[in-house]
Amino acid sequence: MATVTPRRPSGFGEYLPHEQIEFNRLMDIIRGTYEKYGFVPLDTPVLELSGVLLAKEAGETSKQIYRFEHGRNDLSMRFDLTVPLARYVAEHEGQLAFPFRRYAIGKVYRAERAQAGRFREFYQADIDVIGSNSPIVDAEFPAIINEIFEKFKFGEFTIRINNRMVLNGFFEGIGLRASSKDVLRIVDKMEKITESELVSELKNIGLSDEQVADVLRFTAITGSNDEILEQLKQLDVRSELLDDGIAKLEALVRSLRTMGVPESRFKIDLKIARGLDYYTGTVYETVLDEHPEVGSVCSGGRYDDLASYYTNTSLPGVGISIGLSRLFYKLREAGIIEPTAQSPAKVVVMPLTENQIEDGLNVAALLREMGIATVLYTELDKVAKKLRYADRMGFGYVVLIGAQEAEAGTVSLKDMRTGKSLTIAKSDLASYIV
Amino acid sequence: MATVTPRRPSGFGEYLPHEQIEFNRLMDIIRGTYEKYGFVPLDTPVLELSGVLLAKEAGETSKQIYRFEHGRNDLSMRFDLTVPLARYVAEHEGQLAFPFRRYAIGKVYRAERAQAGRFREFYQADIDVIGSNSPIVDAEFPAIINEIFEKFKFGEFTIRINNRMVLNGFFEGIGLRASSKDVLRIVDKMEKITESELVSELKNIGLSDEQVADVLRFTAITGSNDEILEQLKQLDVRSELLDDGIAKLEALVRSLRTMGVPESRFKIDLKIARGLDYYTGTVYETVLDEHPEVGSVCSGGRYDDLASYYTNTSLPGVGISIGLSRLFYKLREAGIIEPTAQSPAKVVVMPLTENQIEDGLNVAALLREMGIATVLYTELDKVAKKLRYADRMGFGYVVLIGAQEAEAGTVSLKDMRTGKSLTIAKSDLASYIV
């Protein structure tokens, strides 16, 4: 007798079959693309030693850790895939070839306040190239994002690119070297606050009227990629860092063109800074043109040093992350993702009575041998109930085997889209199933 | 400056790239086969509410749970994939079509005493069919095991089959109905204890000399599948349950032949009982013929009721589980698994100097467009160092682009197995790469 209500802790989602099939299809696109670019799969433990995982003060995040004592261990569940990567690379440094290209698709845990679209367990899909200063590495990431989101078919999208050196170089040029981090933080939220709020925040941290005007003039630079680069070169404000940043941004644009990324899909945006201190060069954000409300669906950038807490080896790199669970949730809500298939199988084989069960086994084995994913329906229900099941599951084809068919070595094949049935030889099945 | 030693809690393993690539290849074989048989993917949370997960007293396992309080929640990490399946099916009962066929490949957690080959975080790869009493369902599992282990290429293997009804029916026939559970438990460890230990254990639970002799006579039945079935039918001990069990075992053997599972790969073994009380019909174990020391690599069976703690709906089913992490560890130790590839990419593209970097990007994009997984090597090292990297990573081909090649629209293609190089047009690359 049932005594316990089956339920989950809040913030811990799971999918129904048709959703899971679609979610896995998206994961497969990501994985396939990451591998095509030569990224190696990596899978680190979900639990880490707290002292190791939390070596670096994680700010807001540190309040959201699932942390507990077990025996003599102080353990924490990973909250992202970057810190475990840093730990991994430092731990196995001598056994890895650099530049080290890895991808990781896995669950991470944050004890956030539960609300719609915020999960406490969710998937991230990351790639990083570790141990290279080559600017050419930076160009591969937008090419990969382009390929993945093209395959996703969620409509047009824009990869916003920028370079922290351009921002910091400009701030340095107007005498804000010391406070450039604070200015960055404010610029980063420009799209979410009004201009007067922006001005007062900038003044609050000590900018002069002239400096505020400079910042506004700078972030107002728009146009095509070439136009923005041209305006940057024409600025009266100059610094070595700025020039270097502009050259890198220009090289990135050139490389993306060489790789065939459509010009409409990548766009220099000087307001992109990315929250984290962590980034030091190129930064990326990706928005769905028709669903800007989803926010950035894939972000990342270049950093100077991945694992300074764990190793003295300098490990510069570039990385991006797709927040797949959130993306899936938002696009399902917006009606962009509407999965229908309830089974990975295309065909269901249905023996009509007990006497045709062995024939059913045989036909199912035959279909699978031909590489066709097949369900053998084993219940001896009435035909109408059988067909309702087939319909509900969304199979493309139903193979019915009655006494007559079994006798003649044939089957009755029903195409569920057209509704048409025909009787064919078992051996001809493959040629009828598209 | 590095201040923290990068390390993991003991019992939490992770792989180096070449191992991970091989591990994923095995997971893909499992997943592909499960899907070919029409099993739906399912992914449940790693954390469950303790009150729900531990509704059923889990015996030994309950001491091994990672359990902790977080906020107002009492949480536990899943220790298998079966209890979460039971919770899932009960929770979403109304939205699922039965028989429900699902697969799950995921990590589970047990705080076991750490020792070689025992992990605290490890993968299980399960399939279950829920909501069917059809004996035909039982036949699909050995067919699936056969297909997976054939693809694994770990040498020959034997799927041992039995039926609890045969065991219980026989025990009932010799007047041991009440104690059949205890007899089962002792028979199950027959292969690990001596005959005299066995005899004294059976006597300890109250069996008469005659009953002990009957049990020994029964478990000594061997021969081909047909010979065993014949001997079972000729037994002077009889009960309805025994007859039913024999008929089911015979039907299973017939179905496996129909599905084309080689006779050498499945074998009735009356000593197989499987530890858990849970099973009520067919049971399976799989051993690698050349590596019996690994133990069973895939086990399972039929059960009467999956989720009685969560729902009053009767949910009979059949399931098997592959303990992939342990299998991988053992076969790696035995030298059966010796992975070499360090990258999913087949080709590495290497521009010789900075001037050929754009050409490199272009050629890499070309190769990927043709579906060839490719790494672009971005470091401007000497050629010898570049080739050392290519060799270490195990790429099949190296594409070198120098000034001459860039000028002529050609590349130098080196086949790393033969060591031979040739200069070819960029557009001919695909036809040279096997």
Q: Residues B248, B254, B258, B261: what is their CA dihedral angle, to the nearest 10 degrees?
A: 90
Q: What is the pLDDT of residue A189?
A: 84
Tokens representing B277 are 């009380």
Pairing state between β A121-130 and A100-109 = antiparallel
Q: Tens digit of pLDDT for each residue in B17-55?
A: 999 999 999 999 999 999 999 999 999 999 999 999 998
Number of H helices, E strands in chain A: 15, 16
Q: Tens digit of pLDDT for each residue in A253-291?
A: 999 999 999 999 999 999 998 866 789 999 999 999 999
The letter for the amino acid at A218 is: F
CA angle A192, A195, A197 (to 5 degrees): 75
Q: Tens digit of pLDDT for each residue in A375-419?
A: 999 998 899 999 999 999 999 999 999 999 999 999 999 999 999
How many residues are listed for chain B in this entry? 434
Whether the model clears a pTM of 0.90, i.e. scores above it, the answer is yes
Quote the CA–CA distance of A179 and A177 in Å, as a whole number: 6
Q: Tens digit of pLDDT for each residue in B251-269?
A: 999 999 999 999 999 999 9
Among A184-188, A383-387, B71-75, B369-373, where is mean pLDDT lowest? A184-188
Tokens representing B307 are 């989720």
Q: Which residue has the higher pLDDT, B38 or A294?
A: B38
Q: What is the pLDDT of residue A392?
A: 92
What chain A residue is nearest to B306 in terms of C-alpha separation? A2
Q: Is residue A20's pLDDT more than 80?
A: yes
Quote the CA–CA distance of A67 and A78 in Å, as a whole number: 9
Q: Does A49 contact B96 at a Cβ distance shorter than 8 Å?
A: no
Instruction: Report the residue of A47, A315, A355 to disrupt the B interface, i.e. the one with the largest count of B CBs within 10 Å.
Output: A47
Contacts of B125 (CB under 8 A, 6+ apart): B27, B30, B31, B34, B103, B104, B105, B321, B322, B324
Q: What is the pLDDT of residue A276?
A: 64
Q: What is the pLDDT of residue B274?
A: 81
- For residue B412, CA distances in Å to A168, B395, B404, B405 come to 42, 15, 10, 7
Q: What is the pLDDT of residue A167?
A: 94
Smallest Cβ distance to A95: which of B16, B136, B377?
B16
Report whether the peptide linkage leading into residue A316 is cis, meaning its omega lies within 30 degrees of zero.
no
Instruction: Report the residue of A15, A21, A29, A36 to disrupt the B interface, i.e. the one with the largest count of B CBs within 10 Å.
Output: A36
CB-CB neighbors (< 8 A) of B345 in chain A = 35-38
Q: At what angle do helices B357-369 and A240-258 cross, to 10 degrees?
A: 40
Q: Is residue B293's pLDDT more than 90?
A: no
Q: Extract long-range pairs of B404-413: CB within 8 Å, 24+ residues apart.
A: B405/B356, B405/B359, B406/B355, B406/B356, B406/B359, B411/B363
Q: Stretch B368-381: mean pLDDT, rounded?
A: 94
The owner of tokens 């009957």 is B214
Q: Helix, strand, coil shares of chain B as percentages rounded to 5?
A: 45, 20, 35
Among A83-92, A110-119, A158-167, B261-270, where is mean pLDDT lowest? A110-119
Q: Does B37 contact A111 at a Cβ distance shorter than 8 Å?
A: no
Q: What is the pLDDT of residue B276?
A: 64
Q: Does B380 contact A134 at a Cβ distance shorter than 8 Å?
A: yes
Report yes or no: B341 and B394 within 8 Å, Cβ to Cβ: yes
Q: What is the pLDDT of residue B342?
A: 94
Q: Is residue B63's pLDDT more than 90?
A: no
Q: What is the pLDDT of residue B277?
A: 72
CB-CB neighbors (< 8 A) of A44 in chain B = 14
Smallest Cβ distance to B38: which of A35, A307, A345?
A345
Q: Does A361 contact B311 at a Cβ distance shorter than 8 Å?
A: no
Question: What percent of chain A clears pLDDT 70, i.e. is strictly above it?
Answer: 98
CB-CB neighbors (< 8 A) of B111 in chain A = 70-71
Q: Tens digit of pLDDT for each residue in A57-71?
A: 656 677 899 999 998
Mean pLDDT taken over chain A: 94
Q: Nearest CA to B158 among B254, B78, B233, B262?
A: B262
CA angle B248, B251, B252 (to 5 degrees): 85
Q: Does A41 contact B49 at a Cβ distance shorter than 8 Å?
A: no
Quote the CA–CA distance of A276 and A5 in Å, as a whole number: 42
CB-CB neighbors (< 8 A) of A97 in chain B = 342, 389, 392-393
Report whether the peptide linkage leading into residue A262 is cis, meaning its omega lies within 30 degrees of zero.
no
